Amino acid sequence: MTHEQILNSLKENIQLIYRQSVDADQAIASLKEQDKAKFSAIFGDNTPFRTRSPLFLVHVEELAADLLALQQSNDDDDFKRTLAELVKKIEMMFKTLQAFKQGLK
């Protein structure tokens, strides 16, 4: 795959995560209104995410910033390192969103 193909695939995945995150954050808001959302962060300290938030969309912003950094990468080694970190975060978001959705059922 070329860098452009990789970037386009990442964009598509982040867009999908964004749409799922909007729905998840609405569910979290509803749970908070019912006094059922007692957590302070989606991800704990031992994750690749720098952001700490009880909402998903904040983490999507971090993914978008990482994608921008990847697009601006000039060095192939830097591209590979940043890509690996971003892919880990994307996988974690998909897994967490899926687990959250299952938990709501």
Give the confidence band of 16 by pLDDT, cuts at 50, 70, 90: very high
- In this structure, how many other beta carbons lie within 10 angstroms of the beta carbon of residue 96? 19
CB environment 26-38: b (16+ within 10 A), e (fewer):
ebbeeeeeeeeee
Instruction: Please report whether residue 54 resides in a domain.
Output: yes
Instruction: Please report whether residue 56 resides in a domain.
Output: yes
Mean of the per-residue pLDDT values for the chain? 93
Number of domains observed in the structure of the chain: 1
Can you tell me the distance from the alpha carbon of 8 to that of 50, in angstroms, rounded to the nearest whole number? Answer: 24
Range 37-62 average pLDDT: 91
Instruction: Please report whether residue 103 resides in a domain.
Output: no
Q: Residue 45 in 3-state DSSP?
A: coil
Instruction: Please report whether residue 72 resides in a domain.
Output: yes
Instruction: Please report whether residue 74 resides in a domain.
Output: yes
Instruction: Please report whether residue 105 resides in a domain.
Output: no
- Model-level pTM? 0.92
**Domain, as residue range, for 16:** 3-97
pLDDT at 103 > cutoff 90: no
Instruction: Please report whether residue 104 resides in a domain.
Output: no
| Cα-based distances in Å from 13 to 9, 32, 33, 34 | 6, 28, 30, 31
